[in-house]
Every structure is written in C-alpha cells, then in structure tokens.
C-alpha cells in the first residue's frame, strides 16, 4: 500500500514535470499565428489541471520519504515531493511541518479518505475522516465533505 502511494507520487511528479517541459517546446514555439490560439488555451487548462493535482498531495496521511527524492534529501520540484502538509519552496526545498498539531474535528484537518486502510470513506475512528466529518457506528465517514 505504501509503495503504491510512493509510485503514485512519483508518477504525478513526472507528469507535472513533463507538462512544464513541453509547454514551451517545439519547432514553431517562437512563432505563433491566430490559428494556434486554441492549442495555447488547451495547454493552460492542462497546467491548471496539474496545479489541482498538486493540491491532491497536501494531506496529513500523504506519506513521502523525502530522503529518496530525485533532487536529493528534502529537495523538491513540487509539493508532491514533500511529506504530508509540507510544501515546496521557490528555492526547491521542502518546508513546513508534515503533520501540524490540528484536531481531527478541525476544518483545517485534511485527510484523504480514499487512502483509508479499510477502503474509500471507511473508517475506524473520526481521525480517518476529512475535516469535520465523523465516523459512524457502522464504520463510514459521514457529514458534509469538502
């Protein structure tokens, strides 16, 4: 399970780097014509989608071994290279506290219920539910989700 999360994080990081690298490349990258306006809009949508994917890495239960990052220990290309709620600084270093002291019932508590050991939205306690959601007596996260 842990290895699958690490592989997903690496694949996501590589996908984002690929999008960034190819966004301005190509034989005709320096010259543009009116016909090329639509592809440029598609690229912008792809980058926005990549930014949303990066936000998917900022969870208390997102585990990343920063010592194994491609750029070196605690070095990063995106926030997905950093553990938990840590973010990637503009100088390429992981910063912040991975799991700050925030109660499970706080709206600032970000937990990805899809990664729970019992399955998506299944829980053993309320700390396995996002934000102010709680764990029902039947083992399901209940309440309003984000």
Q: Which residue has the higher pLDDT, 114 or 19?
A: 114
Sign of CA dihedral 89, 50, 48, 55: negative
Asked if 111 contacts 124 with a C-beta cutoff of 8 angstroms, the reply is no
For 63-100, the pLDDT digits (tens) are: 899 999 999 999 999 999 999 999 999 999 999 999 88
Beta strands in the chain (DSSP E): 87-88, 94-95, 134-135, 141-142
Q: Which residue has the higher pLDDT, 104 or 22?
A: 104
Q: Which residue has the higher pLDDT, 9 or 28?
A: 9
pLDDT band, residue 18 (cuts 50/70/90): very low
d(CA 133, CA 144): 6
Q: What is the 3-state secondary structure (H, E, C) of the chain?
A: CHHHHHHHHHHHHHHHHHHHHHCCCCCCCCCCCHHHHHHHHHHHHHHHHHHHHHHCCCCCCCCCCHHHCCCCCCECCCHHHCCCCCEECCCCEEECCCCCCCCCCCCCCCCCHHHCCCCCCECCCHHHCCCCCEECCCCEEECCCC
pLDDT number for residue 114: 92
d(CA 146, CA 123): 17
């Amino acid at each position: 399970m842990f290895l699958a999360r690490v592989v997903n994080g690496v694949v996501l990081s590589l996908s984002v780097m690929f999008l960034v690298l190819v966004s301005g490349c190509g034989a005709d990258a320096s010259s543009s014509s009116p016909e090329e306006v639509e592809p440029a809009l598609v690229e912008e949508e792809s980058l926005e989608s990549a930014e949303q994917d990066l936000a998917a890495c900022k969870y208390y239960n997102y585990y990343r071994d920063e010592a194994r990052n491609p750029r070196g220990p605690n070095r990063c290309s995106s926030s997905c290279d950093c553990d938990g709620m840590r973010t990637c600084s503009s100088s390429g270093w992981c910063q912040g506290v991975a799991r700050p002291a925030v109660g499970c019932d706080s709206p600032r508590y970000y937990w990805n219920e899809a990664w729970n050991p019992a399955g998506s939205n299944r829980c053993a306690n309320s700390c396995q539910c996002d934000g102010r959601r709680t764990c029902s007596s039947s083992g399901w996260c209940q309440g309003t989700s984000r």
